[in-house]
Chains A and B, each alone.
Chain A
Amino acid sequence: MNKTREIRVRELKKDIPKIAKSMCDTMLVDLEKARRPVLEAVKCSLDNSFYNAKVGYLTPGEKKVKTELNVSSVQKMARTIFVLEILLNNLSASVVNNKREIYYIAKGLIRSSMHLKPLDFDDQNESDSIIDFICDMLEVYREEMNCFANDRGGQTYSKQLVVTEHLSDGTSAVVDLGQMGTTPFQPKNRPQSFKLKGKGKIEFCLVIESEGTANTLVANGMHTRHPCIIIGAQGVPSNGVRGWCKSIQDQLKVPMYFYGDLDAYTLQNIFRTLKAGSAASLIRNSDFSAPDVRFLGVLPEDVKQYDLHCYNVNEKDPVEMRSLKKAKDTLENDPFFQDKKNKKLADILRWLIKEKKRCEQQAVFSVDPKDPLILEKVIIEKIKKGIFI
């Protein structure tokens, strides 16, 4: 493959192949001397997460996970080195793969060489965890290892947004979203490399939890009546969506709002990840979170004001009950919700635990069933009146 210009997520002052090689060399020397090699990675868990509202996202503490070679860990180490070699080969050839593809590449290599059979992965979760371990160990983003998520989400609509993309052959492509009708713009795996510009003033960026609801707003012409950007998050935001929102926030400096269900899952897993990152991605939260995003709704007061239909949490449903239990744990252990700056978000969790109710983002359509624009009107009203957190 031709040597091409590298598209970067950030200015990385690390030579990944060199660091990886040096690490492997140290391991080999240890083994030659019959010493136990140790692999060390940042501990990516809530108990090693810190949150400072001024920083805006979860950052890692000092804790490390050490994996020392022994009979029990020899399999994990062998798998780590095996997958690392695949990723290094991709880097040197400047080719990319998503996690699912890496899983199959690994399986293909194992199939072609009988003695590698013990390394075989039963499912993608096993190879994914090895990839995450490698990234945590080298303290690099998965994207910097040329490995991306399987699906991204983040379809974006706007009449004003213009995206300039620098291509690997050195040329640039300019995409004017206003010229795309109702066709969405799909952010790339490394959205931080885009240059963004607004044709005229962009009043706000709206991130909708449901891709379908985002589509409804666009189809009904919200983006033609209001100079804005509408993004469908498609559930828990992928790295691509998180990086895209971060770029919009940093480059366009427009207010950003999130609108989704009123339940513990949305608040903890979707909104918190978008705004401050997650404990699992501590090393990359700085480039994959949009700390300025505000929670527009659904808010508990919206339920009251618009008399929105709620579902009672089914106490016999283990999934729903687990979500509430997780909300209780979150209030006790999650530094994001414990920060006084996010007290109002924590209050929503408390409300959910107390009321044992949940309200879906589409419930607003029951406010005036004959008005197809009701959701747009409610959203605009809430933005204008400042009813968000």
Chain B
Amino acid sequence: MSKITSSSTAEYFAKNLQQVGFSSPTKAVLTTLKEAVDNALDACEEANILPELTVSIQKLGNGSSRNTDLIEIIVEDNGPGIELEDLPKVFGEYLASSKFGRGRCSRGQQGIGISAATTWAQLTNATGVKVISKTKSMRKAVTATVDVDIKGNRGLLKNKETIEWDRPHGIRVDFRIDGRIQLNGDGGLLTYLEGTTLVNPHLTLHYKLLDENMVHVERVSDSVPEIPPSTLPHPHTMKLGEFMTHAALFGKITLENFIKKGFSRVTDQTIKAMVAKGLPRNNLNRSLAQISEEEFKKIFQVIQETELVNPSTKSVLTVGEEGLAKSIHRLGEVDFFSVVTRKPTICDHKPVVVEAAIARFLTRGDPDTPVQLLRFANRVPLQFDKGACAITRAVESVNWRAYGLMQPKDSLPQGPFVFAVSVTSPFIKFKNASKETIDGGEDLIEEIRRTLMQAGQKLSRHIRAEDKAADLERKLQHIEKFGPILVEGLARIVGATKSREERAEEGLKKLLGREASDAEKAMSDAEVKLKSMQDKEKRKFGSEVFEGKIFEKKSEGIGDVESNENEA
């Protein structure tokens, strides 16, 4: 028999980086950027700081692997910074996270991503991540390189130095990895940055990609989203093993206390209901340590059969309709838009909130191509494996033709639209560790559908008003084109006098004019309805936000050439 050895978590991930988003050189660049930005945003929000991020991605030369380039990814934030002793844990140790299993709507959840990025850098470029960090209490910033000790699953600090850094606090990470750059398309870096901008109205972002000019995107909200307190899990969402592992975290407390304290919304009433379903009353006062595996199994089964109150929805966080309405103008010149934030609800026993923003842009998209679908889970863009995602399935299941959009059967609708759908929940179920697709049950898909249909109804007001205007135009053109030809033909066949012909033409105009005025009325009715909806939205968001005026000034710099560009 061959010798059985055990491996560290770092060893496992180092061999299976494809499972966490490093399956190709293109994805490696995007995943590294994504992990660095997610961490920066989470850190700012935790510290109640309005985030200002600077991103730079450059090609430095050829990569060490075939068909790759050496890519430099720099992300700098104005977050609280990290103490020197914590740097190895954050960047070099797997599953060392302040967020693991806390039941909060943070972007990162497990503490894998950024360490995986360091590992990738180390594997492909023989050096980990170069970090500059400064906390409020530091006089000078610290800089070091963090490597991953793959055997021991811990971070190693190298080249420590203290340096002058003209920032009050923040972090700057510098990854050099083998990769390839894709800017546009579903998996593109620009798509990621635009998506991140959309769902983070409070973010100011500066980015420079390759030789493009530096782009500045100003924040459109001055309030840091308040991350709601964490929520406890719901027993109906757990498997037996998870239930027992969860119990192990609570030490020697009684079963009753464990059930009450370890789960969301379990009350005395719930305990009574469990007893009624067959939970032995004498077990309630026993210590968890005394309960056998067999007994745990029975307890678990009883809990599954008992009807329980759904967990609280207070733990979910929303971007908000106003935030989305403001933020959507940062993606381009909006023709019209529709935003919907649903009330938090429970899907498959988990608190969830779904939001959608649909916008038609003057300068993006094509009438004959599918809409651009931006998917978000806990405000992180999802960019791969679109077809398998619950959000895509929900979008395809809506009959968009009813709202005036073209839609091939069972497919995404078509047109120059951006559809952004955001699902936020402390317990999002993904199909894979790289968190690329949401694995949604029927409840969640239905909730997303309802959100989209609500947004679709608002959208259809605009489209209907346009259709009516086009109908009127068509009718007027028809009258002008065919009326005189008809009368002339009749007059020629009959041999009518000029005066008869003129009278008939007048009569024809009257007749068809009546119809045109009907069409005009239909158009003005549609416009009245649209205006009433717009007025409502203007009252809600403010007219400047609604018309995108406030962005004209703040967005001036977008795409402008900066003469003395200082890189991040």
Contact = CB atoms under 8 A, between A and B. Distances in A.
Interface in A49-102: 69-72, 74-75, 77-78, 81-82, 84-85, 88
Contacts of A30: 507
A33 interface: yes
Contacts of B484: 115
B496 A28 contact: yes
B485 A78 contact: yes
B475 interface: yes
Interface in B447-494: 475, 478-479, 481-487, 489-494
A74 B486 contact: yes
Given A20-B493, A71-B475, A78 B486 contact: yes
Nearest to B519: A71
B493 A24 contact: yes
B489 A81 contact: yes
Contact of A24 (B483, B494, B515): B494
A77 B510 contact: no
B511 interface: yes
B507 A32 contact: yes
Pick from A21, A33, A34 the residue with the most CB of B within 10 Å: A34
Given A24-B494, A71-B516, A81 B507 contact: no
Contact of A77 (B486, B507, B516): B486
Contact of A82 (B485, B496, B503, B510): B485
Interface string B500-522: 10011111101110011001000
Interface string A208-236: 00000000000000000000000000000
A70 B491 CA distance: 19
Contacts of A84: 489, 493
A267 B482 CA distance: 43
Interface string A343-382: 0000000000000000000000000000000000000000
Given A28-B496, A36-B511, A85-B493, A71 B503 contact: no
A332 B478 CA distance: 41
A82 B489 contact: yes
Contact of A74 (B482, B494, B505, B519): B482
A85 B492 contact: yes
Interface residues of A, number: 30
Contacts of B481: 75, 118
B478 A71 contact: yes
Most buried by A among B484, B491, B494: B494
A78 B483 CA distance: 7
**Chain B binding surface SS class:** helix
A27 interface: yes
B478 to A, nearest CB: 5
B515 A71 contact: yes
A28 B504 contact: yes
A85 B482 contact: no
A81 B489 CA distance: 6
B504 A119 contact: no
Interface in A260-284: none
Contacts of A36: 511
A32 to B, nearest CB: 4
Contacts of A69: 508, 511-512
B177 to A, nearest CB: 51
Interface string A35-52: 110000000000000000
A150 to B, nearest CB: 26
A116 interface: yes
Report, as a range, how many residues of chain B touch the other chain.
Answer: 20 to 34
Contacts of A28: 487, 490-491, 494, 496, 500, 504
B494 A25 contact: yes
Contacts of A175: none
Contacts of A118: 481-482, 485
Contacts of B496: 25, 28
A31 interface: yes
A25 B508 CA distance: 15
Interface string B407-440: 0000000000000000000000000000000000
B494 A21 contact: yes
Contact of A34 (B482, B483, B487, B510): B510
B78 to A, nearest CB: 62
Nearest to A25: B494
B512 A31 contact: no
Indicate the member of B475, B479, B493 with the most A CB atoms within 10 Å: B493
A191 B500 CA distance: 43
Contacts of A32: 500, 503-504, 507
Contacts of A82: 485, 489
A115 B483 CA distance: 11
A34 B507 contact: yes
A75 B482 contact: yes
Centre residue among B486, B505, B519 by max chain A CB count within 10 A: B486
Contact of A70 (B489, B503, B512): B512
A309 to B, nearest CB: 40
Contacts of B490: 24, 27-28, 31, 81
Contacts of A70: 512, 515
A242 B122 CA distance: 87
A56 to B, nearest CB: 37
A74 B493 contact: no
Contacts of A31: 487, 490, 503-505, 507-508, 511
Nearest to A34: B507
Contacts of B507: 30-35
Nearest to B509: A34
Contacts of A72: 478
A35 B475 CA distance: 19
Contacts of A74: 478-479, 482-483, 486, 512
A109 B54 CA distance: 68
Interface in A115-155: 115-116, 118-119
13 contacts: A24-B493, A25-B494, A25-B496, A28-B490, A30-B507, A31-B490, A34-B507, A35-B507, A70-B515, A71-B519, A74-B482, A78-B486, A116-B485
Given A21-B493, A71-B512, A71-B515, 16 more contacts: A20-B493, A28-B490, A28-B494, A28-B504, A30-B507, A31-B487, A31-B490, A34-B506, A34-B511, A36-B511, A71-B519, A74-B483, A75-B478, A77-B486, A81-B493, A116-B485
